């Protein structure tokens, strides 16, 4: 086949040091025959030689998925992949934090440019404080400057699915757990103490995510029970119970520019929903837009920094034609503007470059 001819030519190019031409042929060969492990395996080795660690890892991970486990080819690919991962870690890792006894599911940095003067965030700016949540049922607070764990936060009876610092720099931390509760913690300005302030419960199933509004006055929790709840940060009182999804709610994010007056949620029911929390358009707590296109599960959602658009992350992995897609909707009209394809596996997160 033409794919095999391209692969053979790529090997010849590689042997005489024409790596750029070899890489071009290997990419074309892989596109023509996507279930063949040899092109991505050789592509990964070429990237290794060129010290392109990220590209090497991506190609070799693809090759490892395609090769027969236990085969000689699979063993070689696994060795190359281990080398790529080690090189990537050594090249880019500035601090490794070890201590959790289970998978780490969420991290959050204490704001270093806080909204309040003389805040915990300002006092601890030099420590580079980060919080993490883990399947071991704990949250931890770390100093990146020292590479040390400052506090282990215990109290949940299930995995901690999400952590979030209050954006005002006050040192208030949220933790959301599969035990169905969210806890509010207060870190002091010396970082020597961290106190449990409140525990809030209102869901009937495991929590999946937690987030603050722009100013930290309210926060939202989402759950496998198909609901999102909005809470008052100071009192811990439930302000809104948002019902309408027909499946697990994976995430909720506040509009970045309207002071917590609207929230967008992502669900396994194949939709994202925008909720009016202030009664500007509908009755407070009602859905004003249902964002859907196709039938993929929605596992993530984010507003653009100016709040004009909403990016919806969808996935449909088990179908005849699987897709992993980004959809861009207008936050005002709820209409789709465009979409982006390119990923070949579940999109696990997205982040905007900081605006100047």
pLDDT in tens, 236-253: 999 999 999 999 999 999
Handedness of CA 185, 190, 193, 197 (dihedral sign): negative
Same domain, 287 and 317: yes
Domain boundary among 92, 123, 152: 92
- 194-201, strands of its sheet edge to edge: 160-165, 172-177, 181-187, 194-201
Q: Please give the residue range of the domain that contains residue 49.
A: 2-92
Do 340 and 235 lie in one domain? The reply is yes
Q: Does residue 156 share a domain with residue 44? A: no
- Kindly report which listed range (35-44, 114-123, 175-184, 337-346) carries the lowest average pLDDT score: 114-123
Instruction: Yes or no: say if 214 and 260 are a contact pair by the CB < 8 Å rule.
Output: yes
The total number of structural domains that make up the chain: 3
Q: Is residue 73 part of a domain?
A: yes
Which of 177, 201, 225 marks a domain boundary? 201
Q: Is residue 211 part of a domain?
A: no
Structure confidence by residue, pLDDT tens digits, 33-66: 999 999 999 999 999 999 888 899 999 999 999 9
Residue that is last in its domain, among 145, 174, 201: 201
CA atoms within 13 A on the CB side of 324: 10
Tell me whether residue 114 is in a domain: yes
Instruction: Please work out, in degrees rounded to the nearest 5, the angle formed at the alpha carbon of residue 165 by the alpha carbons of 164 and 169.
Output: 165
d(CA 229, CA 204): 11
Average pLDDT, the chain: 93
Mean pLDDT score, 215-235 = 97
CA distance 230 to 265: 12
CATH number at residue 287: 2.130.10.10
Domain annotation covers residue 209: no
Domain match, 232 and 302 both: yes
Coil, helix or strand for 29? helix
Please state, in angstroms and rounded to a whole number, the distance separating the CA atoms of residues 291 and 264: 10
Specify whether 110 is located in the same domain as 55: no
pLDDT tier for residue 356 given thresholds of 50, 70 and 90:
very low
**Confidence at residue 93, expressed as pLDDT on a 0 to 100 scale:** 76
Mean pLDDT of 72-95: 90
When pLDDT is cut at 50, 70 and 90, the band that residue 113 belongs to is: low
Residue in this structure with the two tokens 């697990």, named with its chain if needed: 248
Whether 287 is covered by a domain: the verdict is: yes
Query: In the chain, what are the helix, strand and coil shares in percent, each to the nearest 5?
Result: 25, 35, 40
Structure tokens belonging to residue 178: 């599969």
DSSP-derived secondary structure letter, 85: H
Same-domain pairing of 233 and 334? yes
Does residue 97 lie in a domain region?
Answer: no
On whether both 12 and 145 belong to a single domain, the answer is no
Does residue 59 share a domain with residue 113? Answer: no
């Amino acid at each position: 086949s033409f794919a095999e001819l391209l692969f053979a030519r790529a090997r010849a190019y590689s042997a005489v040091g024409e790596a750029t031409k070899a890489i071009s042929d290997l990419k074309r060969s892989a596109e023509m025959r996507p279930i063949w492990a040899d092109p991505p395996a050789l592509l990964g080795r070429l990237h290794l030689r060129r010290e392109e660690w990220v590209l090497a890892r991506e190609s070799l991970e693809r090759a490892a998925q395609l090769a027969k486990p236990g085969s000689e080819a699979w063993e070689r690919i696994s060795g190359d992949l281990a080398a790529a991962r080690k090189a990537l870690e050594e090249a880019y890792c500035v601090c490794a934090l070890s201590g959790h006894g289970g998978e780490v599911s969420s991290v959050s940095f204490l704001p270093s440019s806080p909204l309040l003067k003389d805040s915990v965030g300002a006092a601890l700016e030099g420590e580079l404080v980060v919080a993490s949540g883990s399947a071991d049922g704990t949250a931890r607070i770390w100093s990146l400057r020292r590479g040390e764990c400052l506090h282990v936060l215990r109290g949940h009876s299930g995995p901690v699915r999400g952590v979030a610092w209050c954006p005002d720099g006050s040192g208030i931390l949220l933790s959301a757990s599969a035990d169905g509760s969210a806890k509010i913690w207060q870190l002091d300005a010396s970082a020597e103490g961290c106190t449990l302030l409140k525990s809030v419960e209102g869901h009937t199933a495991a929590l999946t995510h937690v987030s603050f509004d722009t100013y930290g006055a309210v926060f939202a929790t989402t759950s496998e029970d198909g609901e999102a709840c909005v809470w008052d940060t100071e009192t811990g009182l439930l302000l809104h119970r948002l019902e309408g999804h027909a499946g697990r709610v994976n995430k909720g994010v506040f509009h970045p520019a309207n002071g917590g007056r609207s929230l967008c949620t992502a669900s396994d029911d194949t939709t994202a929903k925008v909720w009016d929390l202030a009664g500007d358009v509908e009755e407070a707590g009602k859905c004003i837009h249902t964002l859907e296109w196709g039938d993929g599960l929605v596992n993530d959602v984010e507003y653009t920094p100016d709040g004009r658009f909403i990016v919806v992350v969808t996935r449909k992995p088990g179908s005849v034609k699987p897709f992993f897609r980004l959809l861009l909707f207008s936050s005002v009209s709820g209409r789709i503007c465009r979409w982006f394809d390119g990923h070949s596996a579940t999109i696990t997160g997205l982040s905007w470059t900081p605006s100047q």
